[in-house]
Amino acid sequence: MKRLVAGLFAVVVPAAAGAQGAPDWKAVEAEAIRTIQSYVRINTSNPPGDVTKAADLLVSLLQREGVPVKRYESAPGRSIVLARLKGTGAAKPILLLHHMDVVPTDPSRWQHDPFGAEIADGKIWGRGTMDMKGLGVVQLMAFLSLKRQNVPLERDVIFMAVPDEEVGGELGAQWMRKNHYDELDPEYVLDEGGFGSRDLFAPGKLVFGISVAEKKILWLKLRAEGVAGHGSQPHDRNPNDKMIRALARLLGEPMPTTPFSVLQTKRGAARGEGVPASDEPGGVQGSPPLNMTSRVGPLAQNKFNNAIQHSTISITSFRSGVGEPPKVNVIPSVAEATLDCRVLPGTTKEQWLAEIRRRLGDPEIKIEITYEGEDPVVTTQDSKFYKALESAVKQEHPDAILTPMVVPYGTDSNGFRPLGVKSYGFTPVVVPAAAVGSMHGDAEFLPAEAVGPAIRILFNALKETVTR
Ligand SMILES: [Zn+2]
């Protein structure tokens, strides 16, 4: 019945403005840019992380279009917006997920008002333009376009905006999974993660990376114990010396990679020995080999590409000394350092800890795990939505190279993967490496010209995925 009605619309009102055929993309783009500006102008810095006004804005935009909206509050100021386009239920929903909160700013370091959403040099400037109010609005406009075009839906399309992502997501996406999973129960999640760039992945190639996995987070605390003493008489039990030598050994050889099929990198995989490439973490089944390097070729040398090809260690603190400020002439008895480790799928926690121990080369240094993220689960690329994203990007950018990728950072979508949900991280924009580097920095921007094509890509991919 639903299909028949939709078919009739196609025949009866082909010329009705905006009702069928292609949306008026110019108008949609202008509306999107205005909406991004209004959204960025609402300061949702986290901490404190109050998103009430941002949620008010989204609710009013959705209600204006006649979309039913539910609103939750996981804690004061922690609003969650959930809107749904109802499908026939022939397939499980697709969930468009984004977070409303942003990381704090130091306005004195910004050239543009971080909450001004000023457009200059073709860029929309402000906190959240890239991470991730821009994508939130791209999702919203694609979602509204489905409704405005009366696209027949065989699955629900859910738009969800959450708080709290920038501090871990416990009161946002995680809270919804825990308390209202029946409202979601998606087959697919689309969140931030990958994106397109002409210079970041490989100069001169337009590459779009769709995130299918995240690295495992392991935060470690190292502790060296020694013997206190007078600074005038050095001895061989100074914990600082011990720690410094161990850390030098830790960083003294290149970071390892893993024979992990998203990368298909076997080079330098020594430390991943015993993890065959086919032994995909998370058990991806029936998917063709995922292979970033063979699709893109050699990746450009930069910190982003380094992080997606290697397990990495950042030494983030070093604490030692006696007294505050520490006495210059006292050898302390303890030195501590913290390591932020991000481990590629394919290397287990045990393998990674063994690697750290081997590199430190000092069995007396104690290693404590202070935080451990989920074991990586890799989402298959062999899915209707992934293929639809791929072909929608190709349609918009015929010269694009599409590749699955792992992202170095964490996002809300990862928590859906262990539940068997096919989660993709993808902002379908073309951005310069500088825009990617601007996230969490003091010059965050989104190229204005990227907005229109991104909405078209997402709309076309959704249209393909919600209908037979
Ligand atoms: Zn984000």
pLDDT at 283: 40
Task: Give 135 Cα–ligand 1 centroid separation in angstroms.
Answer: 10
- Cα 46 to Cα 51, 125, 253, 336, distances in angstroms: 9, 19, 37, 29
Q: What are the φ and ψ backbone dihedral angles of 438, each rounded to 5 degrees?
A: -85, -15
Task: Give 413 Cα–ligand 1 centroid separation in angstroms.
Answer: 10
pLDDT at 223: 98
Contact residues for 350 (Cβ-Cβ < 8 A; gap 6+): none
Task: Give 165 Cα–ligand 1 centroid separation in angstroms.
Answer: 7
pLDDT at 289: 53
**What is the third-level CATH fold of 216-372?**
Alpha-Beta Plaits (3.30.70)
Task: Give 324 Cα–ligand 1 centroid separation in angstroms.
Answer: 37
Residue ranges in the chain modelled with pLDDT below 50: 1-19, 265-288
The answer to whether residues 431 and 130 touch, using CB atoms and an 8 Å cutoff, is yes
Task: Give 263 Cα–ligand 1 centroid separation in angstroms.
Answer: 23
- Summarize pLDDT for 110-154 with one digit per residue, the tens: 999 999 999 999 999 999 999 999 999 999 999 999 999 999 999
pLDDT at 92: 97
The answer to whether residues 290 and 262 touch, using CB atoms and an 8 Å cutoff, is yes
pTM (2 d.p.): 0.86
Question: How many C-beta neighbours within 10 Å does residue 28 have?
Answer: 22
pLDDT at 7: 38
Task: Give 411 Cα–ligand 1 centroid separation in angstroms.
Answer: 7
Task: Give 292 Cα–ligand 1 centroid separation in angstroms.
Answer: 23
For the chain, the structural domain boundaries read 13-213+376-466, 216-372
CATH number 3.30.70.3420 given to 13-213+376-466: no
pLDDT at 286: 45
Task: Give 98 Cα–ligand 1 centroid separation in angstroms.
Answer: 8
Q: Which of 226, 6, 40 is nearest to 123 (CA)?
A: 40
